[in-house]
Structure 1
Amino acid sequence: MLIQAHIQAHQHVPGGLMPLLHAIQDDIGYVPDAVYPDIAKALALSVAEVHGVVTFYHHFRTHPIGRHVLQICRAESCQAMGCGKLEAELKSRLGVDYHQTTQDGQFTLLPVYCLGNCGCSPSVMLDDEVYGRMDTEKVSELIDEVCHG
């Protein structure tokens, strides 16, 4: 199993928990809680410590995600420029709340607290691409482009 290979590769690395968690998530898209005991044993940690790190950092996911990840910036600049309306309309259009995946498995909607694009607020990130000065029409175009090529 791929996860076991990552555990073996990181078990003797000082401070290896974070790189291990990143490696697992990079490969399968999330860190399943079922592997916490294996990670804890290999790194001489408690299961609670592993769980605490995974849940403390917003970057780590504990469940599978959609084919595409849509993040809406919730930082102050984006809020001042109308991300709340964008957020409400996207949740309605996709039929999900934050940290949920659409029924077709296409999109996971996530909040993010600064994309570093404050001068072009409101901003979203679709997969690994940041887009600024967004409104519902522009985000709908992005979604349609991803869905229909």
Structure 2
Amino acid sequence: MHSYAPAPTDEDLRALIDDHVGLEGPLLPILHAVQKAFGHIPGAAIPLIADALNITRAELHGVISFYHDFREAPAGRHVVKICRAEACQAMGGDVLAEETLKKLGLDWHGTTVNGAVTVEPVYCLGLCACGPAAMVDDRVVGRVDGARMDALLKEAGA
């Protein structure tokens, strides 16, 4: 279960940036630190990070949107990731993903109205022989069918 701090102040954000700006290649460590602290990359962080690293906001947005682990809005209390790799697709992962999103009324990266579950794609969980695979928070689950997904979603409060 995720629990994050309230909305950050500029001082909170500057402190995280300052802790990492001296590193070689500081952008990803800064983004990871901000997301770890606040559960997402808040809009208020964008100009501060861009200014500290002397990059454009567009460049920064490109990095955030490229890496699937960064989010620009808070996730639900639980994150359900469904494997999108070929082995899982061959075992029914596409249908599982479509049915799950339809059942919850979500698109990828969407969060249920009650804030309980965010559904995200992931590209290989390493359970290729046990597909389709999913991950609920930090727990990897293999051989996920519709009934098993329903149980996982119910357990997560969706």
* TM-score under structure 2 length normalisation: 0.87
Q: Aligned match of 1:108 in 118, 121, 131?
A: 118
Taking only aligned residues, the RMSD between alpha carbons, in angstroms, comes to: 1.5
Match of residue 49, structure 1, among 59, 64, 70: 59
CA distance in 2, matches of 1:118, 1:54: 28
CA distance in 1, matches of 2:16, 2:122: 27
Aligned partner of 1:88 in structure 2 is 98
Paired with 2:155 and 2:26, the residues of 1 have a C-alpha distance of: 39
Cross-structure match for 1:76: 86
1:101-140 to structure 2, matched below 5 A, reads: 101-140=111-150
Q: Which has the higher helix share?
A: 1
Percent of residue pairs identical: 48
May I ask how many residue pairs the two structures share in their alignment?
148
TM-score scaled by structure 1? 0.92
Partner of 1:5: 15
Moved beyond 6 Å, runs of 4+: none
Structure 1: unaligned runs, 5 residues or longer: none
Please state if 1:33 is matched with 2:43.
Answer: yes
Question: Structure 2 regions of 5+ residues with no counterpart?
Answer: 1-8
Query: What code does the residue aligned with 2:28 have?
Result: M
Tell whether the 8 Å contact from 2:116 to 2:156 is kept in structure 1 after alignment: no
